[in-house]
Structure 1
């Protein structure tokens, strides 16, 4: 009997200890950065917004400071909401802050562990990053200007012919640039099913990873044992990966065949094929590396240009001033080129303000993660914590940008730095904006994106006027600039506008520039380059 009592006492003690430990899950340790009140087990998961998350993260920053914590079940998320914190932790302490948290839905199920964007910091990521750097670094980026000039000419022509489809034309522009650089071939029409699949697939990927179910599965690993018919998010992730993997493999295997046949243009895949031969990684990793480059280059540039058009619609005084600057430099008879970079400083200001005002990576895309315990401002930042670069809040800090929701390029009138040089400024308060990330995870495509955006913005403003569309009664339709798509990469919700040529002379110039490019540079049947412009230049 005594042994029975002892056994019962031990069991009761064990159950009490287990219950105590369970109730500690979700609680914020005293030495962590402050944050909203937690409840046992869930922590702050129940407070995570399902829509417009950037506004809630901004609100918490105002309440708890520029470094605060969220307890998400068994995980911790540290939110950085000031330029000072991002510069100190993600840049200066990058050796500790450059990994990724475990992302079961996004990296394991959606990507089979192959997506470089979500890959942990280690030898494989560093090797892939080096390859990408060789494709996109500052010296190489200049070589892609012929691609950018050609695709820009088609975009302007498409604006002229079917202005109501301007979002499609912007997307084709950014996608064709990226396929040219990565795979060596261009996408001449938006109706290509691969483009539609890419943009629709990435939108679904972004949305899946923002769902509450995805968060629960990420933060409570035991839920992964449940079947797919109960956790439908898991099934959606697996189905998306199957389709995405097939698309990326198709592109990569096409590139490999063209390399073997000697018909490929100079591009990233040529270098990756050499690396594959040397390092013996499989086709799946190669396909995802090239495919996610395509995804990143296509989506972010197009979303930023879409935001720019919205800004011109809503702020006609800015549009007018920008056009005056362009006309002074270029006149009626020629479009802007990269040679006008120094003289069109105001257009660079428009570009920077677009990136600040309508950031595509609104919450820093994917959180960083720490690889060791650290302290900052007296708080413990634990090993394995997710670290969010709260881009929206920093870009809209009124100390950095007074009246931040007003589109005002004059904020940058004394800023002559390029995007990369600004991001490298040792004084974080002088950085232009935080849309391209920070530290060792900063976007490697900044140099290419800067040229694509500059040419896109300058030439659209040279050729066209942007104005509100009219409803059936003739009243102007004014979109709400704060209505954004959902997901970790976003853009304005779709809107209508009126795009018209500034003069018939400029319209004819757009037509003649594109027709000349078609005749001289492209195969009449395939609409691919007759000769590799990189080697020719």
Structure 2
């Protein structure tokens, strides 16, 4: 019986409707199944609405195509000016959050370091080119935390003071070498930095620039930087599905593996020699490897990992100190008035009869400013070295920062913020005239405005060797300014040739492009003091022939 206007529908009509609609529904379902993967693929590279803003994206690549091959720091600065202190880049299937203010770095990398201390999955740089052993790129976890604690304990402020005899002697040789061969100043600076690092890490010196292991370090590290910074490395990092492509089709993969074998051989040479000498009692002078040998069994550290822990220190110490000093010498040619002011302070505080010593530091505020300004003006880690990564979702300034995203400390942009550093392109040590904090104390200060620079990183990934580096830089800069005049060379027409400080090497560590300088002693008395001090240091401390330490420094204990 039908109620109201309802009309019964025969089963025949239902069958007809079903026969028409069912194939249509099936066809639509098939089309959806076929189109869904395509739709999903097209979402790769797209920026979700709740992410920090950033440049427009295209499917699959996101913003990869917008990142230039050279001078990436300048593009990152432009994006910061356009999108603000926290912006995002969509890099294939990955996200990069770029922090371009001191406050953002303090709020996230420092205050929330518990979730901001991971690394992204770096396939070429870490997995292939480092065998998963490079501490700089290691993922956050028990192994990294154990190594971090160990390294900080063995490179604390007391250890940095213990290394002072090494710093003084290596500096004496650098000063003598520059006096005798001023045109090779870059070589002498690099030897100084490397020898200081091998001494503090392994207990042995690098007496000459031509040292085979020294040259090998620069070759393998230079190759590593090129491999880790190639466009292909970025593609494989940000689009992991492409990693299945075999090595014969991607030569960079084979090159990365080959370089790792070569690099590990070098690192094992240094570590095996140091360990054997320490266990045999033939290397009593203080060095990082002494502590690592003691800790190796308790922390289950095999020799391959130990060699990469020490090798990482060797890389970082050699590169940062050398590049900063070379950048400082570049600044002296571009801003000669700085050297004139430094000469006045040094002559007043130190005098003419001796070179500066570490104990003079607190009375040489302008020289301290030169050190801080060198680290700010031309930071070696121009984009904060390797980005941090998030271990879980976080929220900041109303934006969602997703788990797994890379988080970049945009050092160059922060260092060239005119609100923080007026006239940022000018090398001006007086901007630090009232800053009496050490680099470490500035880094951990609760007020980000009190931080002098960001070259040594932030949070739990901050450089553990900053104490040693700061002391080495002070001694190097103070003595170079005390002893020498720096002038620009002239061309055939008598025109001065001034280096261009905007031209820097490419990669995650940088230095000025090669330049020439005329370096001469300020007077003959200073030249004689340099010669006398080096001859005395050799006679008292070094073995004739090997130029290795003969003086025992066993009373200086590392990490105590």
Shift of 1:202: 1.9
CA contact (8 A) 2:176 2:531 kept: yes
Q: Which moved more, 1:127-136 or 1:412-421?
A: 127-136
Summarize the alignment of residues 124-139 of structure 1 with structure 2, pairs less than 5 Å apart: 124-139=143-158
Match of 2:479 in 1: 459
SS of match in other structure, 2:315:
helix
Equivalent of residue 357 in structure 2, options 337, 356, 365: 337
After TM superposition, the score normalised by the length of structure 2 is 0.94
Match of 1:435 in 2: 455
CA contact (8 A) 1:170 1:305 kept: yes
CA contact (8 A) 1:50 1:210 kept: no
SS of match in other structure, 1:167:
helix
Q: d(CA) in 2 for partners of 1:23 and 1:349?
A: 52
Match of 1:175 in 2: 194
Q: Where has structure 1 moved over 6 Å in runs of 4 or more?
A: 1-7
Equivalent of residue 22 in structure 1, options 41, 65, 81: 41
Shift of 1:425: 1.3
Number of residue pairs the alignment of both structures matches: 537
Match of 2:6 in 1: none
Match of 1:149 in 2: 168
Match of 2:159 in 1: 140
Query: Within the alignment, does 1:122 sit opposite 2:141 as a pair?
Result: yes
Summarize the alignment of residues 91-110 of structure 1 with structure 2, pairs less than 5 Å apart: 91-110=110-129
Summarize the alignment of residues 478-517 of structure 1 with structure 2, pairs less than 5 Å apart: 478-517=498-537
CA contact (8 A) 1:144 1:534 kept: no
Larger Rg: 2
CA contact (8 A) 2:202 2:274 kept: yes
- The superposition leaves residues 214-236 of structure 1 with CA deviations (integer Å, 9 ceiling, x where unpaired) of 11011111211212233222222
Match of 1:245 in 2: 264
CA contact (8 A) 1:463 1:507 kept: yes
- The superposition leaves residues 471-502 of structure 1 with CA deviations (integer Å, 9 ceiling, x where unpaired) of 23332111111000000000111111111111
Query: Within the alignment, does 1:67 sit opposite 2:82 as a pair?
Result: no
SS of match in other structure, 2:95:
strand
Match of 1:352 in 2: 372
Q: d(CA) in 2 for partners of 1:472 and 1:230?
A: 50
Match of 2:4 in 1: none
After TM superposition, the score normalised by the length of structure 1 is 0.98
Equivalent of residue 65 in structure 2, options 26, 46, 54: 46
SS of match in other structure, 1:76:
strand
Shift of 1:259: 1.9
Shift of 1:283: 1.1
Shift of 1:401: 0.8
Shift of 1:250: 0.6
SS of match in other structure, 2:163:
helix
CA contact (8 A) 1:143 1:534 kept: no
Q: Which moved more, 1:425-434 or 1:143-152?
A: 425-434
Shift of 1:191: 0.4
CA contact (8 A) 1:79 1:390 kept: yes
Unaligned runs of 5+ in 1: none
Equivalent of residue 185 in structure 2, options 156, 163, 166: 166
CA contact (8 A) 2:286 2:556 kept: no
- The superposition leaves residues 96-127 of structure 1 with CA deviations (integer Å, 9 ceiling, x where unpaired) of 11111111111101111101111111111111
- Go from structure 1 to structure 2 and tell me whether the alpha carbon gap of 1:483 and 1:534 turns closer, same or farther (over 3 Å shift): farther
Query: Within the alignment, does 1:294 sit opposite 2:314 as a pair?
Result: yes
Q: d(CA) in 2 for partners of 1:311 and 1:187?
A: 27
SS of match in other structure, 1:77:
strand
CA contact (8 A) 1:69 1:79 kept: yes
Match of 2:8 in 1: none
Q: Which moved more, 1:447-456 or 1:126-135?
A: 126-135
Q: d(CA) in 1 for partners of 2:290 and 2:430?
A: 43
Match of 1:225 in 2: 244
Shift of 1:5: 7.6
Match of 1:57 in 2: 76
Q: d(CA) in 2 for partners of 1:227 and 1:429?
A: 49
Unaligned runs of 5+ in 2: 1-18
Q: Which moved more, 1:333-342 or 1:232-241?
A: 232-241
- The superposition leaves residues 374-416 of structure 1 with CA deviations (integer Å, 9 ceiling, x where unpaired) of 0000000011100000000001100011111011111111111
Query: Within the alignment, does 1:378 sit opposite 2:389 as a pair?
Result: no
